[in-house]
Amino acid sequence: MSNFTESNGKTLRHTRADVLAAAMKILDELGLPDLTMRRLAATLEVQPSALYWHFANKQTLLACIADEIIDRAKGIGVGLDWKAATRAEAESLRNALLAFRDGAEVVSSTLALGLGANQAQARLTKALTGGGFDAATAETAAAAILHLILGQVWHEQQRIQADSLGVVSGTAAVTPEHAALGLPSNQAFELGIALLLEGLEQLAHTRNNLGTV
């Protein structure tokens, strides 16, 4: 916990968790473009420089937000086969991203810069290893599934936002239930995951057969 002393002599006490919670509220209500350190400082009634007690820069803050979003994904149940477990993890991650405005963009940028959100791929990898795949295959497949999740949710969130602003071209309105390529977004997502998992299983089968020749 840090003491933030303003120019008027007023001292406020905010924890790192307080700053993070305020940032996530701004993100959810206004979107990523409006999540600035200046706006965050104004919300907490401190000078912008006070925020750097807890976060070195905005990207570090966004990385912590990304980790928090991923952490809120519910864990899968026990006793599932590898396909069901992977689907459950993928759906849980998708729901976590959708729970926050611009959630996919925040997590994607954090991963691209190598600053955090690593648990997303780790959870998918763990689920995939239940299928008996070697570590390299499981990690690569997890990355492919994660890219599908991030891309699909990012697209969905952009379309929903555009529709809310009235700037979507064409006559079809875009809603959370109908946001991707003319299909309900959940159907497009489920089909993509199914194709990846079935393809992975077929690849493993082919490799096993070749290994016996």
DSSP annotation of 183 reads B
Instruction: Output the pTM of the full model.
Output: 0.79
CATH code 3.40.50.300 for 67-212 = no
Side-chain-facing half-sphere of 10: CA atoms under 13 Å: 7
pLDDT at position 7: 42
pLDDT at position 203: 81
pLDDT at 12 over 60: no
Query: Can you identify the CATH homologous superfamily of domain 2-55?
Result: Homeodomain-like (1.10.10.60)
pLDDT band (50, 70, 90) for residue 210: low
Cβ partners under 8 Å of residue 144, min gap 6? 196
Q: Which amino acid is at 135?
A: A
Per the listing, tokens 């400082």 go with 41
pLDDT at 2 over 50: no
Q: Strand, helix or coil at 5?
A: strand
Rounded CA gap, 66 and 117, in Å? Answer: 6
The ranges assigned to domains in the chain are: 2-55, 67-212
Question: Quick one: which of 100, 93, 99 has its CA closest to 125?
Answer: 93
pLDDT at position 70: 94
Stretch 21-25: mean pLDDT: 96
pLDDT tens digit string along 150-203?
A: 999 998 888 877 776 666 655 455 454 444 444 456 888 999 999 999 999 888
pLDDT at 46 over 60: yes
pLDDT at position 212: 45
- Structure tokens of 164? 């809310």
pLDDT at position 86: 94
Q: Is 94 exposed, middle or buried (0-12, 13-18, 19+ CB in 10 A)?
A: buried
What is the average pLDDT value for the chain, to the nearest integer?
A: 83
